[in-house]
Amino acid sequence: MKRIFKFDDYEIRILILALNELRNQLIREERYTDAVDELLIKLI
């Protein structure tokens, strides 16, 4: 099921920063980042 959310610029920046921090943590733990990468691409 596909869902559409509407965020303002401030909320998008917060989401991108949080996902990037999660991605960095996963990289440090040598875990896969595929799902986070896909979400970041969709937001950017």
How confident is the model at residue 26, as a pLDDT? 98
How confident is the model at residue 2, as a pLDDT? 87
pLDDT tens-digit readout, 1-44: 888 889 999 999 999 999 999 999 999 999 999 999 999 998 88
pTM, two decimals, is: 0.83
Q: Nearest Cα to 42, choosing from 21, 10, 34?
A: 34
**Distance (Å) of CA 14 to CA 4, 28, 32:** 18, 21, 22
DSSP of 5-18, one letter per residue? ----HHHHHHHHHH
How confident is the model at residue 17, as a pLDDT? 96
Query: 């303002």: which residue's tokens?
Result: 8
